[in-house]
Amino acid sequence: MPVFDTSAPSNPYPSIFGTHNGTIKPNQTITVFKMYTYPCAGTGGHTEYARIWNSSWGGVEAHWKGYVGNWHNISFNKTFTLVANETYNYTICTGSYPQIIHKHIANVTGGTITCTEFTDANGRRYEDWIPAIRLEHTMPEIDIAFVIFNETDDLSKYTEQALTFVNQHIPATFEAITVRLPEATEFTYWGTGEDRCCFLAGWNVRSMGHEEQLPLACLGYFLLWKFKEGDKPCWGGGTWGPIHGLNNKRISSAPYNAWWWSEPGWRPDMPGGTCIILHELHHMIGGTLVDDYKYYKGADSMSEHRYGETIPNIDRMSDFGFTDDYNFTAWCYEQLTEEMCKKLEMIYKNQKHSTLGIKRPPHNSKAQQKEAQVGLYNQK
Tens of pLDDT, residue by residue over 139-168, are 788 999 999 999 899 999 999 999 989 988
Q: What tens digit of pLDDT does each residue of 210-243 get?
A: 999 999 989 999 999 999 999 999 989 999 999 9
Domain ranges (residues) in the chain: 4-136, 141-379
Residue 351's pLDDT is what?
A: 55
**Could you give the CA distance from residue 379 to residue 347 in angstroms, rounded to a whole number?**
18
Residue 69's pLDDT is what?
A: 62
Residue 2's pLDDT is what?
A: 59
Q: What tens digit of pLDDT does each residue of 258-273 get?
A: 999 999 999 999 999 9
Residue 188's pLDDT is what?
A: 95
Q: How confident is the model at residue 173 (pLDDT cuts 50, 70, 90)?
A: confident
Average model confidence (pLDDT) across the chain: 89
Q: Bigger pLDDT: 22 or 140?
A: 22
Q: Average pLDDT for residues 315-336, to the nearest whole number? A: 96
Q: Bigger pLDDT: 329 or 3?
A: 329
Report the residue count for the chain: 380
Look at residue 36 and tell me whether its pLDDT is greater than 60: yes
What is the CATH number assigned to the segment(s) 4-136?
2.60.120
Q: Which residues pair with 254 in a beta bridge?
A: 224
Fold topology of 141-379: Collagenase (Catalytic Domain) (3.40.390)
DSSP 318: G
Residue 254's pLDDT is what?
A: 97
**224 burial type by CB count under 10 A (0-12 exposed, 13-18 middle, 19+ buried):** buried
Q: Is the pTM of this model over 0.85?
A: no
Please say whether the beta carbons of 130 and 106 come within 8 A: yes
